[in-house]
Amino acid sequence: MHHTKITLENGMRAITVPMKDTKSLTLLALFGTGSRFETKKTNGVSHFLEHLFFKGTKSRPRPGDISQALDDVGAEHNAFTAKEYTGYWVKAASHHFPLALDIVSDILLEPLFKEEEIEKERGVIFQEMNMYLDTPRRYVHDIFESLLYGDEPLGWEIIGTSGSLQGLSRENILTYRKSQYIGSNAVLVVAGAFQEEDALRRVEQAFVRLPSGTAKSCPPFRESKKRLSPVRLEYKKTDQTHLMVGARGFGMFDDRRYAATLLATALGGKTSSRLFQEIREKRGLAYTVSAITEQFLDTGYFSVYAGVPHQKTKEVVRRIRDEFHNVCTTGITLRELQQAKDFWRGQFAISLESS
């Protein structure tokens, strides 16, 4: 697939991916920062900042102005915060590219961060936190990562804690933004229907005021000297038990990550996988059972998730353990390996159908 990459004077990388036979485009601004770049005191600031960018700019001072401008043309927009990156995107009809670019550059370069909006959004995030606590299928992943990494940034929740969220000040937020939201730490991607030369020119003009410099790096992952508990149980009245089983794996620059991904696919990455067939199809013990790998800069993990009847929890854990043992002793078959590779070839082809 054709693409063009340029680097602006401030260090920001811009990538354009023209696509034929589509009438829309997606614009995504990514920054290489997230909750792993926080301290205990500022835990949650990456996510808080992501929310605040939408709460008014110099040219769109009211919090609803940004959503209104995009809703008026039927565009979709959102943002997300992860442990090592944060993104802001707009998907719109291709002829609205100037508006999409203007919105994304406006929120990132001219935010107001009014005190009253900060306090209102703090309340919104507390409710988001409660929503996650009421969603055990999601919350179990946070618990699992805290078991793997302990009391360090990779083990902390992206949203922060009640204490850290309450303690975040406007000064904390501005300091973090100044440290991390700079050109060399940013990538802008435009994919879809547009004139490439015109798009690159507009991007360069829009983001010329993004500061240059070097962003603060995150501390490298270090094994805890303390022995971490291998199990954590948390009780909440639900209709299912949600469980995860797994171990630390490989980082995003480790070539072994490819083998780990294929193993996860064979074990639980598709409906014909071993665990899906054994736990759901043969025994009816779960609606959802899956295996994934996660990669961070210098570490990662391999995990299996399942939502099961309370009284069948031990049986499901035992069957997952047994499948792990089988893989460790006999591996997967050549046929399973080929099927996993073909699965990802197909998934990759499908992913290229959308911007």
Looking at the annotation, which residues are catalytic?
Answer: 50
Please provide the DSSP assignment of 262-300 as one string. Answer: HHHHHHHSSTTSHHIIIIIITT---S-EEEEEEE-SS-E
How remote is the C-alpha of 244 from its chain's centroid?
19
347: helix, strand or coil: helix
DSSP secondary structure code for residue 44 in this structure: T
Strand partners, 13: 7, 187
With CA atoms as reference, report the closest residue to 158 among 302, 298, 296, 12: 296
User: How far apart (Å, rounded) are the C-alpha atoms in residues 13 and 25?
Assistant: 18
With CA atoms as reference, report the closest residue to 55 among 1, 108, 6, 18: 108
**Does an H or E element contain 170, and which?**
helix 170-180
**Does an H or E element contain 200, and which?**
helix 196-206
CB 51 within 8 A of CB 117: no
- Helices (H) and strands (E) counted in the chain, each on its own, are 12, 9
**Does an H or E element contain 8, and which?**
none
